Chain A
Amino acid sequence: MCNCGHHHDTLIPQIGVITDICTETADVKTFRVEKVGGGKLFEHLPGQCAILSVPGKGEAIFSITSSPTNEEYMEFSIKRCGSITDFLHYEVEVGQQIAVRGPYGNNFPVADKLVGKDILFIAGGIGLAPMRSVINYMLDKRADYGSIDIVYGARSVEDFVRYNELSEVWPAQPDTRVHLTIDRPQENWQGNVGFVPAFLKDLQFTPDKTVLLCGPPIMIKLCLAALVEMGFEKSQVYTTLELKMKCGVGKCGRCNIGGKYVCKDGPVFTCDQLDEMPDEY
């Protein structure tokens, strides 16, 4: 943080330091970010995002992967797919300082509408990143929620964002199940093979659950169609979107879908809200 004595604009980031880097898959790494000297840069709610930047490379928005209940640091699971993410993957080492601003956007309603509900998480690929914040939040406040099912699909076994939670921590929690699927058969894989929408039907979930869904736009659309077929109401399905953003506060004019700005009115929407918005995401 600079000490110029001025009130800082929302566009002015703070300085964070990367204190750990975990390689999750060939193209996903999880970066732990703390304040210089330790502690979190700011508080957030599950589903909110932050804008990270590297001088000279610019800024990009990422969902905060860690739970708000983690009081020591924030984590970001980042897929390598552009200039900023390339830099984070190839150039950055532990101890590197980066610029961070946030939190931005709304959040999953963990303190009200989701309380007491049976929860079904559905994630595809890097879509697990924002879900993990909610999953760990709910598991830390386990008594506030009903059953928890986590359906997670990836292209291959190597593409699972292999949080140790996925295999060891989450399935061991009370009334919590993890269901994994990969797109195509692989040697030594005993689990399900097939796309997530079909897997949902195989698992025969009943429509009394509340769904939190995140993945590529096409997966969101196909999963929603499957859920509706299974008797779910669109208002029971929450999803989180991501579009190109610059400001994070609904002014730069970039991330709107119709009159809604994903950066401030979202990123969390229910699927019946999406129905009322133009199909432009």
Chain B
Amino acid sequence: MLKITLDNLPKLLAALSELGELQVPCENKSGKVDFEKWNAEKRPRFDITLTSKSAKDLFFPQVEDLLAFKTKGKNLSIEQIMPSDKKVILMGVRACDIKSFELLDKVFLKDPVDTYYKARRENTLIIGMACSEPEETCFCGSFGIDATAPGGDVTTWITKDALYWQANTEAGKTLTEKVADLMEEAEASKVEEQAAVTKAVLEKMPLANFKVAGKIPQDELKTFNSKIWEEISAGCLSCCTCTYVCPTCHCYDIRDYAVSDNHTERYRCWDSCLASDFTKMAHGNPRKTKVERFRQRYMHKLVYFPNNNEGDFACVGCGRCLQKCPVNLNIVKVAKALEVSEDV
């Protein structure tokens, strides 16, 4: 294990930014903290546990161009717009978001592989960061995630005066060799101490005892036909905020944008199963009401996804939906309602 004092941290960031595009949590103009390309003017906000949006943006951007069409009379040409092959170093990712990459891999890297996602994933080196000040809305432990050991190519821990650094993968070790001169050897005891304190804090958190595994009937029809959906969905505004901030939501739309009369670009963008026109087609809409759309979102996360992916729920307990929902609805409430409901 290596360490660097926080005073010297800018030197490490500068060195990393020479090796790739360094993305760290930074405060943007609107006062929100999200992953941004670092430069010497920017102060990383490693003190913030949760970025406003999840880090999925780095691999599955909110909007990305897929191809360009050129037309000439009746003729057509197609040019694929390739994702950039720049190397990215994504630093300061928490355990919940790192787990979400694994879940997104199950979608985008499953045959047929999404080459856009894959290219970004392969070009990105992940430096995880252990949590030391979890938020009240955190519940990653419900999914067996250890906030104090986030993984990644490199794991880091921040204490009052230093950043601790441990390489995990071959890529992480190669990176470490390039920046090791800036750091000094360190004992793991400080990190272990911090982890013990954090774990004690997590045990006292409001959602410490919230568990999903084994609590929700994984019988699709039974849970689908539960009586809870009508009542619990009543307050939902269908604003889709939860889906956009969610690290595991992966629904997307593909649309065309006319640049000029003979030039069209096709792009992909985030979409939400809560949107009323999401499944609307010429001959009707299989999910006509909000109840059906709300049910789809949670059935996907809690039943369909685990049934299709060796029991993994499509939730990592980051708690962003708990923080951002304007009417205080969230996956915890849904899971608890399903658990206590008598008819499921």
Q: Which A positions have Cβ atoms within 8 angstroms of B?
A: 1-2, 4, 6-15, 53, 55-59, 81-82, 85, 93, 95-99, 216-217, 242-244, 246-247, 249-259, 276-278, 280-281
Q: Is B66 among interface residues, defined by CB-CB distance under 8 A?
A: yes
Residues of A contacting B189 in the complex (Cβ-Cβ under 8 angstroms)? none
Residues of B contacting A2 in the complex (Cβ-Cβ under 8 angstroms)? 77-80
Residues of B contacting A57 in the complex (Cβ-Cβ under 8 angstroms)? 256
Q: Which B positions have Cβ atoms within 8 angstroms of A?
A: 66-67, 69, 71, 74-80, 82, 107-108, 110, 112, 114-116, 220-221, 224-225, 250-256, 258, 264, 266, 268, 271, 273, 278-284, 286-287, 292, 296, 299-300, 303-305, 307-308
7 nearest interchain CB pairs? A253-B251, A55-B69, A259-B304, A97-B76, A81-B282, A55-B264, A82-B282
A-B contact count (CB 8 A): 135
Q: Which of A55, A249, A251 contacts B71 (CB 8 A)?
A: A55
Interface contact A96-B74, CB-CB below 8 Å: yes
Interface contact A9-B80, CB-CB below 8 Å: yes
Q: Which of B252, B283, B308 contacts A81 (CB 8 A)?
A: B283
Tell me how far the C-beta of A15 lies from the nearest C-beta in chain B, rounded to whole angstroms. Answer: 5
Interface contact A85-B282, CB-CB below 8 Å: yes
Q: Which of B76, B108, B300 contacts A55 (CB 8 A)?
A: B76
Q: 15 extra interchain contacts, Cβ-Cβ under 8 A, other than A59-B254, A251-B252?
A: A4-B79, A4-B80, A6-B82, A12-B80, A55-B266, A93-B74, A97-B74, A99-B76, A243-B286, A244-B278, A246-B253, A251-B250, A254-B273, A259-B220, A277-B221
Q: Which of A4, A251, A257, A259 contacts B107 (CB 8 A)?
A: A251
Q: How far is the CA of A220 from the CA of B77 in the complex (A)?
A: 40
- Closest residue of A by beta carbon distance from B272: A253
Interface contact B107-A58, CB-CB below 8 Å: no
A and B contact pairs by CB, cutoff 8 A, 29 listed: A2-B79, A8-B115, A9-B66, A9-B80, A11-B254, A13-B78, A15-B76, A56-B258, A58-B256, A82-B281, A99-B76, A216-B283, A217-B284, A243-B281, A246-B252, A251-B107, A251-B108, A251-B114, A252-B253, A253-B271, A253-B300, A256-B296, A256-B300, A256-B304, A257-B286, A259-B220, A276-B220, A277-B221, A280-B286
Evaluate whether A259 and B254 lie within 8 angstroms (CB atoms) in the complex, with A254-B279, A280-B292, A281-B286 already known. no
Residues of A contacting B79 in the complex (Cβ-Cβ under 8 angstroms)? 2, 4
